[in-house]
Structure formats: structure tokens, C-alpha cells
Amino acid sequence: MEKKILVVDDEQDIVDLISYNLGKEGYKVFTASNGTKAVEVATALHPDLVILDIMMPGMDGFDVCRTLRRNASTQSVAIMFLTAKSGEIDQILGLELGADDYIQKPISPRVLIARVKTILRRGTETVRTETIAAPEILQIGALEINRQNYTIRVDKKEIFFPKKEFELLAFLAANTGKVFSRESLLRRIWGESVYVIDRTVDVHISKIREKIAPYSSWIETVKGVGYRFREQLS
């Protein structure tokens, strides 16, 4: 099936460059020049990937990402941030919001295409792995993880989780008692990629713990190794 990609940037030359190279690879490309239009197009077309500029007037890329991740119809769409910003803090924020990758301008078309292929392939593999890894609804004490609609309830109260936080918690909870290194979690949740840093896992774990309080101790830090979801006493 032909993959649909939405390219969002307020610089027309960037949009034209990316669209041309994606089109040569056989992708069906849609475009938007601002954040508001991007949300409209993504909601209507359900693209497989959104390539999203951060620095745009009005609704910036971070706001677009937040909106897409909160919308049931677009929360599983892959998102790649495209930006001239190079700081680690911005990269971590983008990944924290649920982005799948982060690429800096100026753009190398060959690198861009390689990253796009990795993300789209990763998305297919993730769905297949998740189907095997855990039941659709996982209930552990006061914690309910619903993989059908990407919702999490703590003490029966629904709490919003960006895509990667959800996948990380769901994976750990589905493998109770097993210890996973940061590198292993990066491979399993973010895919076979060198484009995210080890600290990304720590940031996501910290956010998850905040959201599942007072049950944050269920996610244990195994010093010098990684993390595990603690086995619960019946």
C-alpha cells in the first residue's frame, strides 16, 4: 500500500525539496505551510508519517505534535521533527512529546529518505511485536493499560500519555520482573536507530513515574543495568 507523508514547513523551498525526493521514492506526499493546516490535513488523511518543522509562526511544531498525540485518530501517526534548532533540550522535548525522530537542517535528501524508511519500517514492526507481546487490555492492580485505544487509567482515572511513554510503560508492564537495559529499551521502543540518546529513556521513565503516582515504585531502577516493572503480590 502506498505510504502517505505530510510535509509541514513555512519555507516553500524546503517543502518542494522534501516533496520532490519523497515523490521519487514512490510516497504520496501532502503539504501544509502552517500548524493549523497541518492538524486539519493530518486529521482528514491519517498519514503514515508527518515531517514537521518546529519554528513556525502561530502554532509551532511542538503544539502540532501535542495536538496530534491527544487526538484519537492521529495519536499513532509517526512524527519526524525537522528543524534548524540543534540543542539537546529541544531534542529531548520533541521526543518527550511523542516524536519518532529529529533531523536538523540543512537537509541531506539521502539521509532524510533513509530516516523516513527506518521510521515507516519501524512502525510496521512495532505493531507486529505489540500484538504478540501483551493482551489488548492489561490490568495490574490500579493500573489499566488499553492497547486498543492507547489509554491508561490509574485508580480508574484516565491519564494522557504521549505515544512513546505509553509504549514504554506497556512494554515494561507486559514483561513484569524482567530487567531491560536502556539500550535494549531504545531498540525495542524507538527501533534500530542511533538517532536518540540513552538519556531519552530516563526522561520518559521519570515522566511515567509522575503520572502513575502513587505507584511509581512499581518501575524499579536496577543500578548499573536499566529498568524493570516490579512483580506485584497477589
Q: Is the pLDDT of residue 64 over 90?
A: yes
Q: Which of 73, 108, 129 is the last residue of a domain?
A: 129
Asked if residue 218 belongs to a domain, the reply is yes
pLDDT tops 70 at residue 217: yes
In this structure, the answer to whether residues 156 and 108 fall within a common structural domain is no
The CB density around residue 125, as the number of other CB atoms within 10 Å, is 12
Query: Where residue 122 falls among pLDDT bands split at 50, 70, 90?
Result: low
Question: At 151, which CATH number?
Answer: 1.10.10.10
The reply to whether 75 falls in a domain is yes
In this structure, are 97 and 203 located in the same domain?
no
Rounded distance between C-alpha atoms, residue 26 and residue 17, angstroms: 15
Whether residue 234 lies inside any domain: the answer is no
Q: In this structure, are 88 and 112 located in the same domain?
A: yes
Q: What is the CATH number of the domain that holds 76?
A: 3.40.50.2300
- HSE of 183, CA atoms in CB hemisphere, 13 A: 3
Does the pLDDT of residue 41 top 60, yes or no?
yes
Predicted confidence (pLDDT) at residue 168 exceeds the cutoff of 50:
yes
In a domain, 97, yes or no: yes
- Please indicate, yes or no, whether residues 109 and 142 belong to a single structural domain of this protein: no
- What domain range is 56 assigned to? 4-129
How many distinct structural domains can be found in the chain? 2
